[in-house]
Amino acid sequence: MRARRSPALWLPLLAVLLLGSLVVAVGLGPLTVPPGEVAEVVHARLTGTAPPDGSTQDTVVWLLRVPRVLVGALVGAVLAAAGAALQAVVRNQLADPYLLGISAGASLGAALVLTAGLGALVGAVTLAAGAFAGALLALALVLLLVGRGRGLSSHRLVLAGLTVGYFLGAATNLVVVLADSRDAVRAVTFWTLGSLGQADWGDLPVLAVLTAATLGLLVLRARRLDAIGLGDDVARSLGVDPDGLRRQVAAVSALGVAGAVAVSGSIGFVGLVVPHLARRLVGATHRLVVPASALLGALVLVWADTLARTVLAPREIPLGILTALLGTPLLMALVRRRLRRPSVEA
């Protein structure tokens, strides 16, 4: 009840909690680093002074864990915010960012890069570029399938996304089957399961820009997201073009999610489950739901990645598997609630 009286207070609270989680998560791993020493290493790097505790600790904290944790936070934020917006425009609480086939397109692009040997030749930048190009291809196919000059209903968008997703998923499997290298097949399989193990400082600039742009554009459309949630007719009476809004949200979400998938692989359930948790904290107003989802998504993925790399150390659990294991019980609860309310439109 306190959250409902002052829902906006959750935003600074979540921000503080996220900041503390970033510091703690950086220190956790096979080499445990206390939060105070993490802060010293980061401060020394930012100010240009010598690392306080030797090269090993500096390498682990600054070169390995800090970029990984920051990438995880950005990926979780953009997936959750995009999920909240897509659930609004398609008016389906079980929608997620991968609804538009973006993940399947990114997987196809990454598979082509890995099986062609370009990833080993040029590096992780080529893999990210291939995944990003595949995600944009998926969005283009969805919009082409929907067609111009026709009503873009939520059902039409969902069907187009599912069709493109299945097609590109089959194409990815075909690429894997035709691949000659077992190492390439193994790399594609591990990448499609999701992981932040390859994250480095080079991933952050582009991902940070895409995340900031995605969140900013979605927040600017918060009032229109509220209107379309009441139905297309109500939205039109309030001066909102439902079809145009759906195209805008689909394009913005696709760009943000493409950047996320390009560096982390396929990580499900964050964009599906986190928006529901955000609505329970701040209500249904998207001016609060979108930033709250971003903060919660960042928190969830930071801690999920921490578990993935520590619970079975030195082995690492693929992040997509862990988020599925944690998210499935929540999804089952959501489905059960919807089945108890058959009158609610899907």
- Interacting residues of 134 by C-beta distance below 8 A, sequence separation 6+: 105, 106, 107, 108, 109, 110, 112, 168
Give residue-wise pLDDT tens across range 308-335.
988 887 788 888 889 988 888 887 887 7
Predicted local confidence at residue 71, as pLDDT: 95
Model confidence at 241: pLDDT above 60: yes
Nearest Cα to 39, choosing from 63, 72, 62, 56? 62
Q: What's the rounded mean pLDDT across residues 191-216?
A: 88
Identify the structural domains of the chain with CATH numbers, from first to last: 2-339 (1.10.3470.10)
Comparing 302 with 340, the larger pLDDT belongs to: 302
Give residue-wise pLDDT tens across range 249-302.
988 888 888 888 888 888 888 998 999 999 989 988 999 999 999 999 999 999
Nearest Cα to 267, choosing from 40, 149, 103? 103
Predicted local confidence at residue 345, as pLDDT: 44
Instruction: Determine how many CB atoms are found less than 10 A away from the CB of residue 237.
Output: 11
Give residue-wise pLDDT tens across range 73-109.
999 999 999 999 999 988 877 788 887 888 888 888 8
pLDDT winner (highest mean) among 20-34, 67-81, 136-150: 67-81
H-state helical runs in the chain: 2-5, 10-27, 35-47, 55-58, 66-89, 102-115, 118-122, 124-146, 154-178, 182-193, 204-220, 222-228, 232-237, 242-264, 270-282, 286-310, 319-339
Model confidence at 150: pLDDT above 60: no
Q: Rounded mean pLDDT of the chain? A: 84
Predicted local confidence at residue 341, as pLDDT: 64
| Prediction pTM value | 0.88
